[in-house]
Amino acid sequence: MSGPSTYVPKSGLARWFESRLPLLGLIHSSFIVFPNPRNLNYWWTFGGILAFMLVAQIATGVVLVMHYTPETTLAFSSVEHIMRDVNYGWLLRYAHANGASMFFIAVYIHMFRGLYYGSYKAPREVLWILGVIIYLLMMATGFMGYVLPWGQMSFWGATVITSLFSAIPFVGDSITTWLWGGYAVDNPTLNRFFSLHYLLPFMIAGVVVLHIWALHVPGSNNPAGIEKQTEKDTLPFHPYFTVKDGFALVCFLIFYSWFVFYVPNYLGHADNYIEANPLQTPAHIVPEWYYLPFYAILRSIPSKLGGVVAMFGAIAIFAFLPWLDTSKVKSAAYRPVYRFFFWVFVACALLLGYIGAQPPEGGYVLAGRLLTAYYFIHFLVILPLIGLFETPRTLPASISDAVLGSHLSPGAVAAQVSRKG
Amino acid sequence: MATATIGEPTRRDFLFLTTGAVGAVAVGSAVWPLINQMNPDASTLAAATTEIDVGNIAEGQIVTIKWRGKPVFVRHRTKKEIEDARAVPLSELRDPATDQSRAEKPEWLVVIGICTHLGCVPIGHEGPYEGWFCPCHGSVYDTSGRIRQGPAPYNLALPPYKFAGDTKITIG
């Protein structure tokens, strides 16, 4: 994207097209010759995996819509019709439902890679914020998608989450009524969630385009956290990273397939196989696993409005990360103090997830509050302070030095050869 | 060290080829369900056969039932209707077919009630042959459901059917 393309197509037809719309050149420069740091590890394959999962969810989703009916008396049975009557309907439904979980597993790994290696730091702040936007859109999409089968969890999860908006002072009730299209979650709510659930993935696709564009300005970060300096630091995207991403994708698909074919309901909730009953709430309402940490935070604050603010704040705080972390060193590989607190944060997030799945009783309540407090302390206190007081390890001179070791880097090898010469 | 001559397949070539072949099979088997889901599903296929009790249909009466979403005329033909149908020479017919080939038991004619011109449902006991008359563009069918006048190119289509006992017909 920087400067005119140097790509010259081979065939006459391709040259004719290229001079009118330089699409082939764009693909060539972005995904074939694009220089990537040669020291990338497998944590960098999840971006490609996420792009695949977006396409997979859209494909399975579009075909599911050919058989689904978004009406309260018909929705649940239309999903059963898909499972029982539609050719491969069971496969499409399980692929889409488990695909959502896989999408979130991949996005959490992708985000935590960013947290560990400082991928959110300058000059990648906008890239990071676009990622936060994608994450928010994913959460909205997943929430609305879960409502569509109109099971008990669909209905009551929708009721709980839409009721959150009534916490807003003055306008809360009006906003909630507006969201519902009525006085409770009912047919109007289901219909509009269906429309938006179809829409949002295409908005995600648009933001993903911006996300990749923003990435391609500086290029990828890398495990050493130092920017590329010479050509020797990089390798062309194709074939090195196309094959690496392809292999990682295959491994991921094996993991995904394990769920789809052997334990397709493991990540779901049995109560969602009961048709929605507005007059009876299940004993324990839980959202899908990927919302559990934020659900725990919501329930930890005794005030209704406070809980809502804390929950949304816990997501929004990611957008401020480039400025909260004051360290100039990117990669945790060279930041021993930060590395320790990173893993503590991972444990905190996992434990919050566990708490979110438990009933809000007994010891779980105190644990939830302590973990919620620590979550915000990590971002607002620990990160800024570490950057100011930590002594990072010595950074390597260049990416090729980090990969090959300074006595083996191309410059050093050439010097050795000429000495022996 | 001997170098491989051009044309000798290398280990890399083998790996590329097998990976490509396996990849193509994988993509094909992933894509197939996405396409096949649009084919008729089990509930549609179950509605593919319809049973009808013809014991209550009087002589001369035409009953219209729904089969696979389409109208089907079940006509209990009178002796005169059968004779008229069988007396027609094949040379007079646009779409030649004997009445015997169209009605297994001569008193029962079962045809799909869609005009072969542009798809309207013809009206029974109408037209110069007392068969069917299509009001949309004036096609005329005889008591065997064969096209006699008007723009339709073919006779009224025959659905697959069989008799299950004397008074029941299974269509489809």
Q: Which residues contact A43 (CB under 8 A, 6 or more apart)?
A: A109, A113, A116, A117, A223
From the list A60, A86, A91, the residue facing B41 with the nearest CB is A86
Q: What does B32-45 look like in DSSP terms, one character per residue?
A: HHHHHTTS--HHHH
Query: B3 pLDDT band (50/70/90 cuts)?
Result: low
Beta carbons of A81 and B36 less than 8 Å apart: no
| Partner-chain contact A88 B38, CB within 8 Å | no
Cα distance between residue A127 and residue A149, in whole Å: 35
Active site residue A231: no
pTM: 0.87
Q: What percent of chain B has pLDDT over 90?
A: 76
Task: Report in angstroms the alpha-carbon separations of B33 from A81, A95, A343, A393.
Answer: 16, 11, 42, 53
Mutation target among A52, A88, A249, A257 for the B interface, most CBs of B within 10 A: A88
Query: Which has more pLDDT, B45 or B128?
Result: B128
B160 against A7, higher pLDDT? B160
> Mean per-residue pLDDT for A199-217?
98
Nearest CA in chain A to B35: A63
Burial of A112 (0-12, 13-18, 19+ CB in 10 A): middle
Residue A2, pLDDT above cutoff 60: no
Whether B15 shows a pLDDT value over 70: the answer reads: yes
Mean pLDDT, chain A, integer: 94
Has residue B5 got a pLDDT over 80?
Answer: no
Considering only CB atoms, B36 lies closest to which of A60, A66, A87, namely A87
- Pairwise CA distance, residues A138 & A191, whole Å: 19
Average pLDDT of A237-251? 96
Q: Is the model more confident about B33 or about A416?
A: B33
- Between B34, B43, B44, which is nearest A63 by CB? B34
What pLDDT score does A415 carry?
Answer: 55
pLDDT of A403: 83
Please confirm, yes or no, whether A67 is among the known catalytic residues.
no
The pLDDT of A391-401, averaged and rounded, is 92
pLDDT of residue B46: 81
Number of cross-chain residue pairs from A and B with Cβ atoms under 8 Å apart: 34
How many residues are present in chain B?
172
- The CA–CA distances, whole Å, from A242 to A219, A233, A245, A298 equal 16, 18, 5, 41
- Which residues of chain B lie closer than 8 angstroms to A89, CB-CB? 37, 41
What pLDDT was estimated at residue A1? 47
Mean pLDDT of B105-117: 94
- Does the pLDDT of residue A252 top 60, yes or no? yes
Q: What are the residue numbers of the active site of B?
A: 137
Contact A92 B34 (CB under 8 A): yes
Model confidence at B167, in pLDDT bands (50, 70, 90)? Answer: confident
pLDDT of residue A172: 94
Is residue A328 among the annotated active site residues? Answer: no
A89 touches chain B (CB under 8 A): yes
Q: Given A59, A84, A85, which is nearest B34 (Cβ)?
A: A59
Better-predicted residue by pLDDT, A36 or A405: A36
What pLDDT shows up at residue A421?
Answer: 44
pLDDT at B28 over 80: yes
Residue for token digits 């309907």? A89
Average pLDDT of the residues in B105-121: 94
Nearest CA in chain A to B38: A87
Chain segment A14-31, per-residue pLDDT in tens: 999 999 999 999 999 999
Residue A345 CB contacts under 8 Å (≥ 6 apart), including other chains: A115, A375, A378
Interface of B with A (CB under 8 A): 33-34, 36-39, 41-44
The Cα-based distances of A88 to A22, A91, A225 in angstroms read 40, 5, 46
Interface probe for A, chosen from B41, B44, B45 (most Cβ of A below 10 Å), is: B41
Percentage of the residues of chain A whose pLDDT score is greater than 70: 95
What tens digit of pLDDT does each residue of B141-151 get? 999 999 999 99
Q: Classify each residue of B125-145 as buried b or exposed e, where b means 16 or more C-beta atoms within 10 Å of its C-beta.
A: eebebbbbbbeeeebbbbbbb
Asked whether residue A289 carries a pLDDT value surpassing 80, the answer given is: yes
Separation CA A137–CA A160 (nearest Å): 19
With 50 as the cut, is the pLDDT of residue A383 above it? yes
Whether A111 contacts A91, CB under 8 Å? no
Residue A326 pLDDT exceeds 70: yes
Both tokens of B1, joined, read: 């060290």
Instruction: Note the pLDDT tens digit of each residue in A335-381.
Output: 999 999 999 999 999 999 999 999 999 999 999 999 999 999 999 99
Distance CA A113, CA A244 (A): 17
Mean pLDDT calculated for residue range A392-413: 76
- Do A311 and A298 contact (CB within 8 A), yes or no? yes
Q: How many CB atoms lie within 10 A of CB A284?
A: 12
Q: What is the pLDDT of residue A410?
A: 55
Please name the residue of chain B whose CA is at the shortest distance from the CA of residue A85: B42
Specify the range with the lowest mean pLDDT, choosing from A164-168, A253-257, A320-324: A164-168
- What ipTM was predicted for this assembly? 0.82
pLDDT tens across A97-118, in order?
A: 999 999 999 999 999 999 999 9
Amino acid, res. B151: P
